[in-house]
Amino acid sequence: MHRGIKRLEPCWQIAIMGWSVYFINYFLRYNYSAAMVVIGQTEDLDIHEMGLIASILFATYGFGQFFSGFLGDRLNPKALVFCGILGSTASNVLMGVSSDISVMRLAWGLNGISSSLYWGPIVQLLSLYVSKERLRGTMRVFSYCTAFGQAGTYLLTAWLIARFSWRLSFFVPAVMGGLSAVGWLIVSHTTGPVRVRKEQRLAGSVSRPAIPQSTLYWRSGLPLILFAILLMGILQNGLLTWLPQMTMDSLHIEAAHAVFLSAAIPLMNSTSVWMLKGIERHSKSNDMVNCGRLFACSAVGMLLIILLGSFLPVANIVFYALVSVLATGINTILISYVPCHYTESGRSSTIAGLTNSAAYLGSALSGWGLGFAAGNWGWECVNGLLLALCLLGFVVSFAASLPWRRFIDKKRCPNREN
Res. 206 pLDDT band, cuts 50 70 90: very low
Res. 213 pLDDT band, cuts 50 70 90: low
Q: Say if 340 falls within a structural domain.
A: yes
- Average pLDDT, integer, range 270-285: 75
Can you give the pLDDT at residue 408? 80
pTM of the model: 0.71
Show the domain range for 79.
Answer: 7-204+211-412
* Number of structural domains in the chain: 1
d(CA 105, CA 65) in angstroms, rounded, equals: 19
Q: Say if 2 falls within a structural domain.
A: no
Residue 134 maps to which CATH number?
1.20.1250.20
Note the pLDDT tens digit of each residue in 318-377.
888 889 889 988 988 898 888 877 766 667 777 877 888 888 788 778 867 787 887 788
Q: Say if 365 falls within a structural domain.
A: yes
Note the pLDDT tens digit of each residue in 67-102.
877 776 677 889 999 999 999 999 999 998 888 888
* Terminal-to-terminal C-alpha distance of the chain: 53
Q: Say if 286 falls within a structural domain.
A: yes
Residue 217 pLDDT > 50: yes
Can you give the pLDDT at residue 324? 87
Q: Say if 249 falls within a structural domain.
A: yes
Q: Say if 336 falls within a structural domain.
A: yes
d(CA 73, CA 213) in angstroms, rounded, equals: 13
d(CA 333, CA 236) in angstroms, rounded, equals: 14
Residue 212 pLDDT > 60: no
Q: Say if 1 falls within a structural domain.
A: no
Burial of 42 (0-12, 13-18, 19+ CB in 10 A): middle
What letters, b where the CB count within 10 A reaches 16 and e where it falls short, cover 73-84?
beeebbebbbeb
Q: How many residues does the chain have?
A: 418
Q: In Å, how far from its chain's centre is CA 208?
A: 32
Res. 411 pLDDT band, cuts 50 70 90: low
Can you give the pLDDT at residue 198? 56
Q: Say if 311 falls within a structural domain.
A: yes
